[in-house]
């Protein structure tokens, strides 16, 4: 790994030997907000471990319409990457940095070789699948059972929780894209939430007043 060291603080359960291996084989990578790590069609040649910041994972349809799936944060990895790169198929999702984000990229084959060697790695991989599965179920719930105002409200809370818990820095258009709806609908429903005293809107920024 480059000059910088892998700080295992984000992965407290990894045993020292595994940390050593990661430091040896991993590449540090820093993403600016909005920078793309993975786009649909890419073949993924690495397993990303998130050290700091967050990535949002989005699904696209044929015309480029998007819908938000889930966030990856400190200590997470991407199950899509795991399954895509082990089976050598192109990605079907998009991964974008939600904020300034730092990751370690591991060569794909380490996934397999470390499984029998490090119990903490095996646990990590299985937990990753499990958490992503839960996230996908949450995404389905949102799409199948909730109305747009609640979906917006929940998205805002999730985004706020990633950072300073008070402000969400996003335009109405950006929120609309993540929810696969239109900007006008977001504006209207934000006004409604504002009327309910849950938020206050500003330009490029939304202030959360309630929990």
Partner DNA sequence: TTCGTTCTGTGATGTAGGTAACGGAATAAA
Partner DNA sequence: TTTATTCCGTTACCTACATCACAGAACGAA
Candidates 139, 148, 161, 162: give the one binding a second copy (CB under 8 A): 139
- Give which of a second copy, DNA, none residue 185 binds (C-beta under 5 to 8 Å, depending on kind): DNA
* Residue in 20, 41, 126, 166 binding a second copy, rule: CB under 8 A: 126
Q: Quick one: what does residue 129 bind among DNA, a second copy, none, with the CB cut-off 5 to 8 Å set by partner type?
A: a second copy
The token pair that represents 197 in the structure block? 């005293």
* Cα–Cα separations (whole angstroms), residue 112 to 47, 85, 95, 116: 11, 11, 23, 8
Q: State the binding partner of 190 from DNA, a second copy, none, CB within 5 to 8 A by kind.
A: DNA
List the x/- string, 102-121, binding to a second copy by CB under 8 A: -------------xx-----
Question: Which one of DNA, a second copy, none interacts with residue 136, CB within 5 to 8 A by kind?
Answer: a second copy
Q: Which residues in this chain contact a second copy in the complex, by CB under 8 A?
A: 59, 61, 65, 67, 69, 79-80, 83, 86-87, 92-93, 115-116, 122, 126-127, 129-130, 132-134, 136-137, 139-141, 143-145, 180
């Amino acid at each position: 790994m480059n000059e910088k060291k892998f700080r295992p603080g984000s992965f407290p359960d990894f045993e020292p030997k595994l940390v050593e291996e990661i430091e040896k084989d991993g590449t540090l990578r820093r993403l600016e907000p909005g920078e793309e790590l993975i786009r649909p069609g890419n073949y993924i040649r690495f397993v990303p471990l998130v050290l700091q910041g967050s990535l949002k994972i989005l699904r696209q349809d044929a015309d480029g319409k998007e819908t938000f799936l889930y966030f990856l944060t400190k200590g997470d990895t991407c199950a899509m990457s795991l399954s895509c790169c082990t089976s050598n198929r192109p990605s079907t999702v998009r991964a974008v940095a939600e904020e300034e984000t730092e990751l370690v990229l591991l060569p794909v084959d380490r996934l397999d070789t470390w499984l029998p060697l490090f119990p903490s790695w095996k646990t990590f991989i299985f937990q990753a699948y499990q958490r992503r599965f839960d996230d996908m179920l949450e995404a389905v719930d949102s799409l199948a059972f909730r109305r747009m105002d609640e979906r917006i409200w929940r998205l805002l809370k999730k985004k706020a929780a990633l950072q300073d818990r008070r402000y969400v820095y996003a335009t109405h258009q950006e929120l609309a894209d993540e929810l696969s709806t239109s900007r006008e609908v977001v504006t209207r429903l934000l006004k409604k939430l504002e009327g309910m005293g849950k938020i206050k809107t500003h330009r490029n920024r939304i202030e959360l007043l309630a929990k």
